[in-house]
Structure 1
Amino acid sequence: MIQLTEEQKKRRRSRSIAIAWALVAMAVMFFVVTIVRLGANVVNRPF
């Protein structure tokens, strides 16, 4: 089993946090794009 140094643990943690933030940002972007696209259709739909 590989033993990581404290520096490697810090780098791994910061890399994991960066990946998590990137995933959150992408999910928010997809949500916003979906709402914007649906919003335009909701306004134009017949009653």
Structure 2
Amino acid sequence: MLESPEAARARRGRNIALALGLGLFVVLVFVVTLVRLGANVAARPF
């Protein structure tokens, strides 16, 4: 089944938006992890 160009364009737009959202979520989790680990490392007695 062949889809219309409008449907293909809409699907591509949704895929790009989903990829950007997922990428932002990964970056957010990475930054939060670095901040939390950094705070624990700085408070560690030597």
Q: Shorter-chain TM-score: what band?
A: over 0.9
List per-residue Cα deviations over 1:6-43 (Å, max 9, x = no partner): 00000000000000000000000000000000010010
User: TM-score, normalised to structure 2's length?
Assistant: 0.95
Q: Percent identity?
A: 50
Matches within 5 A, 1:1-47: 2-47=1-46
RMSD after superposition? 0.5
Structure 2, unaligned runs of 5 or more: none
**Runs of 4+ with >3 A deviation:** none
Structure 1, unaligned runs of 5 or more: none
**1:46 shift after superposition:** 1.1
How many residue pairs end up in the alignment?
46
User: TM-score, normalised to structure 1's length?
Assistant: 0.93
